[in-house]
Chain A
Amino acid sequence: MPSSPFLCVITDEAVCPLSLAEKALQGGAAMIQLRHKTASGSQLFSWGVEITRRCREYGALCIINDRIDIALACRADGVHLGQQDLPASAARKLLGNSRIIGVSASSPEEAIQAERDGADYIGFGHIYPTPSKEKGFDPVGPESLRRVAALISLPIIAIGGITKSNASLVIGHGAAGIAVISAVSRADDPVSAVQELVCSLQQGDIDG
């Protein structure tokens, strides 16, 4: 895991994952999460192979959403698991200690459970309202991020409605990094959008 505040770009089902990942890496993202719920296994595998290869060249990490089999087969750096996916404890047995396991949490209880289950990081949110998808609950807000950061020792990647204007505040509230989808995938110029986000993260590090 990167040691200074970093950006994770999650692929958007509406955009080709390969071109999005390429732009994200060019802009300075440290982590790409391949997330595509409707793609076939064969498609996911070939995207995973290619994005992992490009991430290695940029010194970034490639994480596969949900599919541990695909992550192993394409030798990605790890997986990201939602609350409806395999538990992190089961995933750890398959992935060993060298691969990264991230777990989504939206409450302190879920974050603590993920830490007990052996996760390497927590994806916490959504912090702010987000246009990416309809959520079943209200945003948790930055104060809740601060409370969770005090409760667990794992790095937290904050997600949900994070922009260049609130990124430094989120880092100031205890996040180790931020994850975005639409802020990059739906930007007119995704490379610049990534550069601006990375820049505001570094600002947050200085402020913090």
Chain B
Amino acid sequence: MVHITPHNAPLPRLLLISSGKEAPLIGTPLLIQLQLLPRFMPCMIQIREKHLDAKQLFQLSLMAAEIACEKEVRILINERADIALAAALHGVHLPENSCPPDKLRAIAPELIIGCSVHSPLSACIAEERGADYLLFGPVFDTPSKRKYGPPQGVEKLGALCRSTSLPVFAVGGITPQNIPCCMKQGAYGAAGISIFEPGSGFVATFEQFHNTLYQ
């Protein structure tokens, strides 16, 4: 089943999350990732740069939106619906303790609103409050999340997917090899951070993800 965004377009199945390593005013590596994106392969990119202030995020968002307008990419920003609106981005991704999605929908009906969830209960609340998609993880072991304990595993991903009718993106240690296993559990799409760090393999990795998700 294909899910639809508030813009009446299909929700892409691939979600890239920015590295958290943006340098203020220069804008790498996010802008490099955007430039490298193959043209006709839909995806979403979440700008998640918690160390930048609102002014820097706004400038980065404007630059990203300009590059993205030629491609089938939806740009979302972490938490700051105001910056999404000011820079005409496509959406906002909300951590679990954010302003409730229904309150943001009321002021920004055009935005795609995604929610990070860690349990079927929070998935249920996010769905009730009108989220467009859910992000669940870490499904597999990933160095950046080790400090929070062991990964959630594919069974919990399956339980979460069964608890909601919203599209669920699996995150945390996702590779083209384990995507089929996530989709078998009911995941709609996949998300990644470090695997998409721009480098020589970026386009190949992106295409592999894409082909696996859309086959």
Contact = CB atoms under 8 A, between A and B. Distances in A.
B83 interface: yes
19 contacts: A41-B95, A41-B97, A41-B98, A42-B98, A45-B100, A66-B54, A69-B82, A69-B104, A70-B99, A72-B82, A73-B104, A83-B55, A84-B53, A84-B54, A84-B55, A85-B55, A87-B58, A90-B86, A91-B82
Contacts, number: 64
Given A69-B104, A84-B53, A86-B54, A41 B86 contact: no
Q: Looking at chain A's contact residues, is the secondary structure mostly helix, strand, loop, or mixed?
A: helix
Interface in B46-61: 53-56, 58
Interface string B71-97: 000000001111101100000001101
A31 to B, nearest CB: 21
A90 B58 contact: yes
Interface residues of B, number: 23
Given A40-B98, A41-B94, A94-B85, A85 B53 contact: yes
A45 B83 contact: no
B107 interface: yes
A90 to B, nearest CB: 4
A85 B57 CA distance: 9
A106 to B, nearest CB: 16
Interface residues of A, number: 23
